[in-house]
Structure 1
Amino acid sequence: MAAHDLLAVVDSIYAAALAPERWQEALGDLSVALGALGTTMIPLGLDGPLRALASDTLAEANADYQREWWRHDKASRRVLERGLRPGIVGTDRVVMTEEEIARDPFYQEFLRRHGIRQTMAAIAPLGQGRLLSIGVQRSLKRDLLQDEDVAALARIAPHLGRAIAVTSALAEARQMAGDLAEAVERLAWGVVMLSASGEVRHVNPVAGALLGDGLQVIGRRIEAAARDDDARLQGAIAAALPGAMPAAKGVLVRRPSGKGWLYAEAVPIRPKRDPLDFITFGAGGALLLIRTLDAAPRRVAHHLQEMGLTPAEARLAEALGQGGALKEVAEANRISYETARTQLRSVFAKLGIRRQGELMAIVMRLASTIP
Structure 2
Amino acid sequence: MDGIIERIYGAAVDPAGWQDVIDALGAHYPEGHGTLLNHDLSLGDGSFTVVSSNWHPDWVGKYNQHFARVNPWLRNLPRRPVGLAVPAEYMLDRAELKKSEFFADFLRPQNMVTGIGVTIHQDRERFLAVSYLLPDREDDRVTRDVSLLQQLAPHFRRAMQINHRLERANIEGAAAEMVLDQLATGFILLNAAGRAVFFNRSAERMLHQEDGIHLERDGTVQSLDARLAVCVSRVLEQSDEPAQEVAGALRIARPSGQPAWSVLVVPMIPRMGAIEAMRGMAAILISEEGRKSSVTADLASAFGFSMAEARVLERLVEGRSVTEAAGELQISVGTARVHLRNMFAKLGGGRQSELIRLVLSHPLWMIRRE
Q: What TM-score do you get using the length of structure 1 for normalisation? A: 0.44
TM-score by length of 2: 0.44
Which of 1 and 2 has greater Rg?
2
